[in-house]
Structure 1
């Protein structure tokens, strides 16, 4: 801090899928630039700052949180990044989000008086969206790298809804022992929840060196990112 560094720094804004997409980008930068040995990928969430006082739905769900991973380029380790799979659906831009702010729609007195600032849920999200979406993306990711679902040792999902994760694991025909839940500890921490859940799984010993891991994250927009790697 306070000194120039020969390094790159940038933000990825893909709502709650930001960490998974940033992770994929960071690995690819390391792979194509041999002068870079390490990358720090941080997922951060501060949605409570944008929740309106009268929003009784959002207050109990969203929380502040952050998680980070350090990636090292090392050809002599069994750890490896196998690949990522992304998906987007721009037709869902007006389902949920923060629509006031920036140059397009500045937060003015009129916007505040109309209660249009902060997080807005404009349309109901399809209740089964992630139940349908996540297994499809996971299967495509694994097929791209000729990995069978049963070969994956652990799955880390966006921690928005425990029952959704349970249904997704059922759709993948996988036991719940191969996933981790942390929403009961922290609330929903958006782009921070995947590295937070990963940290807990490693700390608790449910993820070990040499395990094949899948990260599966999705967020408003719709933006989706997934990763397959050997820890």
Structure 2
């Protein structure tokens, strides 16, 4: 049996920045000090017309490849996770395959959409493919272009930012991938999302604004404050490791105070939860890979040999996924 091991990372963030003050002037709502202090976001990154989802995904992938001097044709499988795709069809992953120069080797490429829970889910899928022996090197990419779907008239839209993160996994004889746990509750499906689809692709759908992100009813803080510790405890039990073995947790970067609360609940030091919302805003499907890449560049992963790192992601719908790797 082969285990999946993370061997490289890369991120891409647009250079255009909108500060909280600029956002307030645009939408005529006051969001600070709440957004800076509670959410942890003081600015957001906005992609331009050229920085499409496939472009950002490909740039993050290229940086992950360059970090370890891997050639694109060495990639056997590409999985892109996003709920802001460049097109409904064909999948972004096929375009990314071409943009990074991997098309000559013809690796399989497909999209996954578990909203912002994509990060952990893609790692779980990739690890299972590797365990089966079908693929050696798998590229997973999370990309987010949610600012393209905003109305720019609500205070809650200050949360969103654009960007992409990529990880490369390879087959190893030693863990690597330990396992995953997940939960989903579709009774929350109508709370928050972009509801334009096959049944609403008409003039009435556009007039109702269904092509824009719509917050119909907020999720309670307990969704993550209670759900994340629940999954962490399940993951430790399933994969047979203790809290003392946890080296780093990469949470969905949606709210600083929630992450701090969960770490306190779990009795874990806050520095084991690397946060990047103050640098990149909230980048949905991309955020945990971007956080991993940022932690790597800061040297925080250097002394974690033998420790366990966890990716724990949440998305509207809702779904939550946690996956563990032994470093």
Displacement, 1:32? 0.4
| Residue aligning to 1:47 | 146
| Residue aligning to 1:142 | 236
Are the aligned partners of 1:67 and 1:195 in contact in 2 as well (CA < 8 Å)? Answer: yes
1:24 aligns with 2:119: no
SS of equivalent to 1:23: helix
SS of equivalent to 1:57: helix
Are the aligned partners of 2:119 and 2:311 in contact in 1 as well (CA < 8 Å)? Answer: no
SS of equivalent to 2:161: coil
Q: Which blocks of at least 5 consecutive residues in structure 2 are unaligned?
A: 1-97
Are the aligned partners of 1:139 and 1:149 in contact in 2 as well (CA < 8 Å)? Answer: no
SS of equivalent to 1:141: helix
| Residue aligning to 1:216 | 312
User: Whole-Å Cα distance in 1 between the matches of residues 226 and 162 of structure 2?
Assistant: 28
Deviation string, structure 1 residues 154-174 (Cα, Å, up to 9, x no partner): 111000000000000001001
Displacement, 1:115? 3.1
> RMSD between aligned alpha carbons?
1.6
**TM-score, normalised on structure 1?**
0.92
Displacement, 1:79? 4.9
1:115 aligns with 2:213: no
Quick one: which of 200, 207, 210 aligns to 1:105?
Answer: 200
Q: Which blocks of at least 5 consecutive residues in structure 1 are unaligned?
A: none
Displacement, 1:204? 1.0
User: Whole-Å Cα distance in 2 between the matches of residues 32 and 12 of structure 1?
Assistant: 20
User: Whole-Å Cα distance in 2 between the matches of residues 218 and 104 of structure 1?
Assistant: 26
| Residue aligning to 1:65 | 163
Give the 5 Å matches for 1:163-202. 163-202=257-296
Displacement, 1:8? 1.7
User: Whole-Å Cα distance in 1 between the matches of residues 206 and 151 of structure 2?
Assistant: 10
Tell me which of the two structures has the higher relative contact order, counting C-alpha pairs closer than 8 angstroms and 6 or more residues apart: 1
**TM-score, normalised on structure 2?**
0.66
| Residue aligning to 1:37 | 136
| Residue aligning to 1:128 | 222
SS of equivalent to 1:11: strand
| Residue aligning to 2:78 | none
Bigger proportion of residues as helix: 2
Displacement, 1:33? 2.4
SS of equivalent to 1:205: coil
